[in-house]
Amino acid sequence: MRLLLISDTHVPKRARVLPAPVLAAVDAADVVIHAGDWVDAATLDLLEQRARRLVGVWGNNDGPELRRRLPEVARVELDGVRFAVVHETGPAAGREARCERDYPDADVLVFGHSHIPWDTVSPGGLRLLNPGSPTDRRRQPECTFLTAEVVDGRVADVTLVPVDRG
């Protein structure tokens, strides 16, 4: 099962539209996971129409319409792997222990907010993934998203993909 992990798309504030590489990744994925800060409902509409399956949450920059349509936390099991999705996890210091405590029923936590890619495993085995942002690199060298696969009940081939916004 092919996954696309994205967050912090911030359309139309940081980009007028989603970059072409993101749309190509949506088309290639079996499941798209968006960890919030869509900013506009049109991006949600687009991904709902285009993705085979979409799992998403709202973020701190998402207004009332997006908050009506999306949960603050989403949970989904994909081929035996339990995912939780949330926008904010708090400061980097202590993140693994805090998220392990807050999401004891998850194998993988996908989050956003910082625009900083993140891939760690807590002492108890919770995998934490932040795809960065495909439209706003902030202090990062480039815009990014993540791809991954679920194979035999585990997450494999997690790849940070740079986005050419050309």
CATH code of the domain containing 77? 3.60.21.10
Give the range of the structural domain holding residue 7, as residue numbers without chain letter: 2-163
CA distance 107 to 87: 17
Each residue's pLDDT tens digit, 100-155: 999 999 999 999 999 999 999 999 999 999 999 999 988 889 999 999 999 999 99
Residue 12 tokens read as 């139309």
Q: Where are the beta strands (DSSP E) in the chain?
A: 2-6, 31-34, 54-56, 73-78, 81-86, 108-110, 118-121, 127-130, 143-151, 154-163
Share of the chain above pLDDT 90, in %: 92
d(CA 158, CA 107): 14
Mean pLDDT to the nearest integer, 1-17: 92
Q: What pLDDT score does 166 carry?
A: 54
Per-residue pLDDT at 89 exceeds 60:
yes
- pTM across the whole model: 0.96
Total structural domains in the chain?
1
Query: How does pLDDT run across 24-65, given as a tens digit for each residue?
Result: 999 999 999 999 999 999 999 999 999 999 999 999 999 999
Q: Which residues have C-beta within 8 Å of that of residue 59, sequence separation ≥ 6? A: 7, 8, 35, 36, 37, 38, 87, 88, 112, 113
Q: What is the mean pLDDT of the chain?
A: 96
Please list the alpha-helical segments (H only) found in 29-126.
41-50, 64-69, 95-102
